[in-house]
Amino acid sequence: MTFMKKISHIIVIFSSLLVGGCSGSDQKAKAAPEGKVIRLWVAPDESQEAFWKVVVARWNESGLGMPVAFETIPAVESSEKAILTALVAGNAPDISTNIFSGFATQLVALGQLQDLSVMAGYPELIAHRRMEKIIQGWDQGGKKYVFPLYSNPTLIWWRMDILQKLGIDDVPRTYDDVYKLSEKYAALDQKYGMQLITGKNWYDRWYDFISLYYAASGGAPYITDGKASYDNAAGLSVLTFMETIFKREWTALDFESDDPLTTGLVVGGVRGPWSIPFFERLYPQTLEKIVVGPMIVLREGQGKTFTFADSKGLVLFKNSKVKEEAFAFLSWVLSQDEYSLLWLEKTSLPPARGDLMENAIFRAFYDTHPLARQYAAYVDVALPSAFIENTIDVQKTMGYEMVEPVKFGTKAPKDALADAVRRTNKLLDTVN
């Protein structure tokens, strides 16, 4: 398939992936002559735009290098489609943020991304941010095409007030803990132990099966060498846990109304750090009763439990005529701890750094944001989704071949795993 045909096909796929509205474009970026300015596209998010506005202004005032003009990713159906369209038109920026693992894989397959690991100063940047462990999860064939900016670990929120009423003094950590909790709470009318499934959309698999699988497998990938690899003991333990919860009616098939944690309909549910500001605004009284625990596992092991990272990063496009200058700007921003703190303050998203718990510059923030601190502690064991081109189709397959049948009791966990893996491998074969 030619470049134009393949990129057009990918644009069609991402037309279904909608995002929120963008803010206005920076006219300087549009008007500047190529090769005279670094063009930066940033996520269509007000808090992230506020961060880049500050650091870009400071860089330009410093005179340390080529000036930067930034704009939010243009307002089309999705960030991915906007970037692909720009590539086709020959109007792509030099740098773009808001890149997740699946889209990065597609851009690599199209030959559009620069390997960052060969850029001057890259090893020093990774070392300064203590990202050696984190960056391993972003490896693509021994190369590093994406620099992760933030990492949102998935953890479990529990209503401590309800746990204490049930005589439970600590958050559940194992499947048996959840079973015992659920049995006690289900004795009350129309109550459930845990919100197990987050929804019916393809991306919901990140927050149920994939999060639980990373925990159960000790951080093992669910796609290995272009093949599905979750039909194993870890995958079976996760699906058996799900089957038990659904079969015993310890969770609802769907939660369509208000957040069930706020009503006490459930005691626990998977949430990300983005839920903290949301609850601060709308449910502050509930937030006071929340404690955060790790992803649950069959049996507790030593050390922290792995989990999924809702994480995005930035890329440098291969056809940029100012790659060295652009990476010098990025190194300047990313190597200064004060800007990591500014990012945290502006966005509430944990920077992808391995020293959030040790670096003194973050101490005051986390001392006054205890729930955010819990998430920061898991950044180093939070993994991105698989680096595959057809993320959407693969996770849809997980849903209708595996999660949904177990949910409704139409397949045994072992059969559901085998069916999902077989169908997934067919999908993966089409792009290998």
Task: Please tell me whether residues 82 and 109 are part of one structural domain.
Answer: yes
**Domain end among 308, 323, 353:** 308
Structure tokens at 66: 């080529």
Q: Which of 150, 160, 157, 137 is nearest to 306 (CA)?
A: 137
What is the spatial distance between Cα 326 and Cα 302, in angstroms, rounded to a whole number?
A: 42
Asked if residue 309 lies in contact with residue 384, where contact means CB atoms within 8 angstroms, the answer is yes
pLDDT score, position 24: 35
Task: Please tell me whether residues 302 and 317 are part of one structural domain.
Answer: no
What is the spatial distance between Cα 312 and Cα 309, in angstroms, rounded to a whole number?
A: 9
Residue 416 in domain: no
What is the spatial distance between Cα 316 and Cα 84, in angstroms, rounded to a whole number?
A: 14
Averaged pLDDT for residues 283-298: 96
Task: Please tell me whether residues 242 and 357 are part of one structural domain.
Answer: no
What's the pTM value of the predicted model, to 2 decimals? 0.89
| Of 9-18, 165-174, 348-357, 420-429, the least confident | 9-18
Task: Please tell me whether residues 206 and 336 are part of one structural domain.
Answer: no
Give, in order, the Cα–Cα distances in Å from 383 to each of 20, 43, 211, 232: 25, 21, 9, 19
Task: Give 92-107 pLDDT, tens digit per residue.
Answer: 999 999 999 999 999 9
Any idea what the CATH number is for the domain that residue 263 is in? 3.40.190.10
Strands 290-293 and 155-159 turn out to be antiparallel
**Domain end among 273, 308, 343:** 308
> 216 Cβ partners below 8 Å, 6+ apart?
234, 235, 237, 238, 297, 298
Asked if residue 150 lies in contact with residue 343, where contact means CB atoms within 8 angstroms, the answer is yes
The CB density around residue 301, as the number of other CB atoms within 10 Å, is: 11
Task: Please tell me whether residues 343 and 379 are part of one structural domain.
Answer: yes
Task: Please tell me whether residues 257 and 367 are part of one structural domain.
Answer: no
Residue 266: pLDDT above 80? yes
318 confidence band (pLDDT: 50, 70, 90): very high
Residue 70 in domain: yes
Residue 391 in domain: no
Task: Please tell me whether residues 304 and 323 are part of one structural domain.
Answer: no
Task: Please tell me whether residues 251 and 322 are part of one structural domain.
Answer: no
pLDDT score, position 252: 87
Helix (H) or strand (E) holding 51: helix 46-62
Structure tokens at 331: 């190194």
**Four-residue CA torsion sign, 298, 258, 49, 323:** positive
Averaged pLDDT for residues 279-293: 96
pLDDT, greater one: 25 or 243: 243
**Domain end among 290, 308, 326:** 308
Residue 243 in domain: yes
| Of 20-34, 56-70, 203-217, 347-361, the least confident | 20-34
Residue 424 in domain: no
Task: Please tell me whether residues 67 and 201 are part of one structural domain.
Answer: no
User: Looking at the 3D structure of the chain, how many domains does it have?
Assistant: 2
Give, in order, the Cα–Cα distances in Å from 314 to each of 44, 98, 99, 147, 300: 14, 6, 6, 5, 35
Residue 174 in domain: yes
Task: Please tell me whether residues 161 and 239 are part of one structural domain.
Answer: yes
Averaged pLDDT for residues 74-93: 86
Long-range contacts at 10-16 (CB < 8 A, ≥ 24 apart): 10/80, 10/84, 10/106, 10/110, 10/389, 11/81, 11/84, 11/85, 11/88, 13/390, 13/392, 14/77, 14/78, 14/80, 14/81, 14/84, 14/103, 15/77, 15/78, 15/81, 16/392
Asked if residue 380 lies in contact with residue 133, where contact means CB atoms within 8 angstroms, the answer is yes
Structure tokens at 391: 């993320």
| DSSP class of 400 | I
The gap from C-alpha 63 to its chain's centroid, in whole angstroms, comes to 35
Site of tokens 């939070």: 382
Task: Please tell me whether residues 296 and 330 are part of one structural domain.
Answer: no
Task: Please tell me whether residues 173 and 290 are part of one structural domain.
Answer: yes
Q: Which of 214, 333, 199 is nearest to 253 (CA)?
A: 199
Residue 344 in domain: yes
Residue 76 in domain: yes
Asked if residue 371 lies in contact with residue 177, where contact means CB atoms within 8 angstroms, the answer is no
| Residue ranges making up the domain that contains 248 | 153-308
> 132 Cβ partners below 8 Å, 6+ apart?
126, 354
432 confidence band (pLDDT: 50, 70, 90): low
> 261 Cβ partners below 8 Å, 6+ apart?
157, 159, 195, 268, 269, 271, 286, 290
210 phi and psi angles, rounded to 5 deg: -65, -40
